[in-house]
A and B are shown apart, each in its own frame.
Chain A
Amino acid sequence: MTRSILPRPFLSLSLLVIWLLVNMSLSLGQVLLGTVLALALPPLTLRFWPDAPAIRSLPKLVRYTLVFLYDVLIANVQVAIWILGPVSRLRPRWVFVPLELEHPLSITLLAATVSLTPGTVSSHISADRRLLIVHCLHTLDDAETVQQIKERYERPLKEIFG
């Protein structure tokens, strides 16, 4: 029963929150309208989300978000130092991250995280979705960079989405 009414509870919740944020109001009217939209849209768009992975652990997702924001801050300073320093000393590299994640959404999240933390941009994914090619602005040890991406981002994502 709950499945047919609320096929995507997380999507419904996000829709409601985004609706309230757009309107910046918690009045009864907006809450009701947002609820109607949150209930009506997911069933109508269900075919667009064939198999969204379930979020297994919300605390881990929150932790992941905090780690991510912290890393963005630290990495920004790091990249600023590289850019202002002697540019010729940088050692740009392509590194190859073998993926353990299988679901396209979790791979997308990993790729987005890698791109948003400055110093690395995910550039390509192999045809079989097993390998992410990442461009590093500066790295002395390719293997260590790959290890860092896998441990810091891929493992938590695997725990969150399975």
Chain B
Amino acid sequence: MMVVEALVALLLLASGAAALVAALGLLRLPDFFMRLHGPTKATTLGLGGILAASTIVFSVQDPGLSLHEVLITLFLFITAPASAHILAKSAMHDRVPFQGGQEDPLLHPANLVPESAGEYHAAGLDLPPPGEPLPGEES
């Protein structure tokens, strides 16, 4: 029992530390896109540790494995990248400034494949999803 408790405490401390570092990242990093790396960190290692601890506690307390945590992990791994992606994408389209001195990545040639896309983009509008023609372009 002692061993189990020690293990659980260790896991909780480790994930607490990971979440703390992620929060420090939010505080210290200079631009939006860099700060975005913090939350994705907290979901993976921080929550991973808490869920592992929870699995151990409830598997020891009650007979049988506790596996609800597996589902939480699964759903988190599905949703976390989607939210990070949407945050990053909307910030890009909103022209949020970023460190590093690179050109706006949306101006990369691959984003401007159809001829009219350049002008369309210059107007500050989003590109339509793949497969759909750009306004003014008949396929």
B110:A131 contact, CB within 8 angstroms: yes
User: Per-residue CB proximity of A74-114 to B under 8 Å, as 1/0?
Assistant: 00100110011001101111101000000000000001111
| Chain A: interface residue total (CB-CB under 8 A) | 40
Q: How far is the CA of A10 from the CA of B130 in the complex (A)?
A: 28
Q: How far is the CA of A119 from the CA of B37 in the complex (A)?
A: 6
Q: How far is the CB of B26 from chain A (nearest CB, A)?
A: 9
Q: How far is the CB of A75 from chain B (nearest CB, A)?
A: 9
B105:A118 contact, CB within 8 angstroms: no
CB-CB under 8 A from B70, the residues of chain A are 21
Q: How far is the CA of A87 from the CA of B25 in the complex (A)?
A: 9
CB-CB under 8 A from A72, the residues of chain B are 44-45, 48
B37:A121 contact, CB within 8 angstroms: yes
Neighbour of A87 across the interface among B30, B48, B98, CB < 8 A: B30
Given A83-B28, A123-B92, A128-B130, is A116 in contact with B40 using a C-beta cutoff of 8 Å?
Answer: yes
A-B contact pairs, 30 of them (CB 8 A): A72-B45, A79-B21, A80-B18, A90-B34, A94-B98, A94-B102, A96-B105, A111-B85, A112-B82, A114-B81, A116-B44, A118-B44, A121-B84, A121-B85, A122-B85, A122-B88, A123-B33, A123-B88, A123-B89, A124-B88, A124-B89, A124-B92, A124-B111, A127-B113, A127-B117, A128-B113, A128-B130, A133-B105, A133-B108, A135-B88
